[in-house]
C-alpha cells in the first residue's frame, strides 16, 4: 500500500518564532525549558528529527519493556471488537497497531500526529509488517489540541507519551472529552512524575547516564535532553487525576507502572 496520510487543516507553515516568546511573561506551559523547546512548531520539528531512530531507541532504552506498557495502556482503554477508536499523538504507530488488532476488521482506528516523518514511518511499518486488520487504520496529520472529529465519536482513546509533550494539557483533555462517547475511556501512558524523591533520582540518573548518551550515538543528545525537563514540567499522578476531573471526566485513576518510572491515567467520560 502506498504511503497515504490524510491531511487535516493543520498549519505546517508555522512562523519560525513562537508567538509565546514575544509575551513579557508567558504562562508556565510556554516558558522555555532547559533545552529551549517551547512552542508547537519547535516540538513538531523535534519529533520530525528523531523519527528515524525513535523506535530503535525505545526498544534499546526500555529493553523492550515499552511494548508491555503499551499493551497495558490499550487494555486499560476498554477497547472492544468493532469499536471506533483514536490513538492521539500516534508517532510511529505502536499503539495504533495494537488497537487495530483489538477492534478487528469491523472496527476503525484513527491515528493522529502532527509530525509527517513519524506518520511516514508508521505507514511504512504498516506495509512492512502487513496484517489484514491493519487496513482499518487511518493515519491523520493533525493537531491534538484541535481534534478534527465530531463530538462523541470514539469508543476509546489512547495516548502514549503524548500528553507530556503538549503545550496545553487542559485543552488536550477537553478535546479528548469532547470526542469520546459518554461512558468511554481514555488511557494515557507516559513517564511518571513521581512524588518519591528516590524514584525521581533514579529516573534522572537513567536519563542523564543512559538515555542521553545512547541518543548521542545517533547525534541526538540535545533532542533527548528535552525528556528530563519535560518530565519535570509534567503533572504528578494526583495532579493528572485532578485535571481530568476538572475537565469533566466522571472518574480518573492514575496507575504507576515499572516501579513508578512510568504512569498510566485512565479517565472515564
Ligand atoms: C514521544 S512520541 C510518542 C509516540 C507514540 N505514541 C509512542 O508511544 O511511541 C510523542 C508524539 O506526539 C506527537 N505530538 C506532539 N504534540 C502534538 C500535537 N500538538 N498534535 C499532534 N501530535 C503531537 C509527536 O509528533 C510525537 O510523534
Q: For 166-219, how does the pLDDT look when each residue is reduced to its tens digit (9 = 90+)?
A: 999 999 999 999 999 999 999 999 999 999 999 999 999 999 999 899 888 888
Mutate to test the pocket of ligand 1, among 43, 113, 215 (most ligand atoms within 8 A of CB): 113
Determine the Cα angle at 18 with ends 233 and 21, to 5°.
Answer: 70
Q: Is 205 part of any domain?
A: no
Distance of alpha carbon 92 from the chain centroid: 11
Tell me the C-alpha distance between 179 and 19, whole Å.
28
State the pLDDT at residue 219. Answer: 85
Asked if residue 20 belongs to a domain, the reply is no
Domain of 50: which CATH number? 3.40.50.150
| CB 157 less than 6 A from any atom of ligand 1 | no
* Count of domains observed in the chain: 1
Is residue 215 domain-resident? no
Helix (H, G, I), strand (E, B) or coil at 236: coil
Q: What are the tens digits of pLDDT across the range 114-154?
A: 999 999 999 999 999 988 889 999 999 999 999 999 999 99
In a domain, 208, yes or no: no
Assess if residue 16 is contained within a domain. Answer: no
Question: Is the beta carbon of 264 within 6 A of some atom in ligand 1?
Answer: no
DSSP assignment letter at 163: G
> For residues 78 and 266, what is the distance between their CA atoms, to the nearest angstrom?
10
pTM score of the predicted model: 0.88
Domain span holding position 73:
36-196+223-268
- Mutation test residue for ligand 1: of 60, 85, 91, 173, the one with most atoms within 8 Å of CB: 91
Q: Count of CB atoms within 10 A of residue 188's CB?
A: 30
Q: Which helix (H) or strand (E) element contains residue 58?
A: helix 40-62
Q: Output the CA–CA distances (angstroms, integers) from residue 54 to 17, 127, 182, in the order listed.
A: 26, 18, 34
91 CB near ligand 1 (under 6 Å): yes
Choose one of 165, 190, 207 to mutate for the ligand 1 pocket test, by most ligand atoms within 8 angstroms of C-beta.
Answer: 165
CB 78 less than 6 A from any atom of ligand 1 = no
Amino acid at each position: 500500500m502506498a504511503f497515504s496520510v490524510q491531511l487535516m487543516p493543520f498549519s505546517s507553515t508555522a512562523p519560525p518564532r513562537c508567538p509565546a516568546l514575544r509575551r513579557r511573561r508567558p504562562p508556565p506551559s510556554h516558558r522555555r525549558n532547559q533545552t529551549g523547546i517551547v512552542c508547537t512548531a519547535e516540538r513538531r520539528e523535534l519529533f520530525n528529527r528523531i523519527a528515524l531512530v525513535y523506535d530503535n531507541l525505545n526498544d534499546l532504552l526500555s529493553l523492550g519493556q515499552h511494548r508491555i506498557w503499551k499493551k497495558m495502556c490499550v487494555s486499560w482503554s476498554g477497547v472492544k471488537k468493532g469499536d471506533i477508536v483514536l490513538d492521539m499523538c500516534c508517532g510511529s504507530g505502536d499503539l495504533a497497531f495494537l488497537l487495530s488488532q483489538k477492534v478487528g476488521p469491523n472496527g476503525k482506528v484513527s491515528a493522529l500526529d502532527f509530525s509527517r516523518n513519524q506518520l511516514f514511518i508508521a505507514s511504512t511499518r504498516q506495509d512492512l509488517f502487513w496484517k489484514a486488520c491493519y487496513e482499518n487504520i487511518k493515519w491523520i496529520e493533525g493537531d491534538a489540541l484541535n481534534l478534527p472529529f465530531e463530538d462523541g465519536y470514539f469508543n476509546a482513546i489512547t495516548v502514549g507519551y503524548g500528553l507530556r509533550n503538549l503545550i496545553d494539557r487542559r485543552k488536550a483533555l477537553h478535546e479528548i472529552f469532547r470526542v469520546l462517547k459518554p461512558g468511554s475511556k481514555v488511557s494515557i501512558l507516559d513517564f511518571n512524575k513521581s512524588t518519591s524523591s528516590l524514584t525521581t533520582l533514579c529516573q534522572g540518573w537513567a536519563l542523564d547516564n543512559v538515555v542521553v548518551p545512547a541518543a548521542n550515538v545517533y547525534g541526538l543528545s540535545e533532542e533527548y535532553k528535552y525528556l528530563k525537563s519535560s518530565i519535570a514540567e509534567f503533572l504528578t499522578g494526583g495532579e493528572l487525576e485532578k485535571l481530568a476531573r476538572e475537565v469533566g471526566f466522571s472518574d480518573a485513576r492514575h496507575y504507576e507502572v515499572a516501579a513508578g518510572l512510568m504512569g498510566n491515567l485512565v479517565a472515564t467520560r
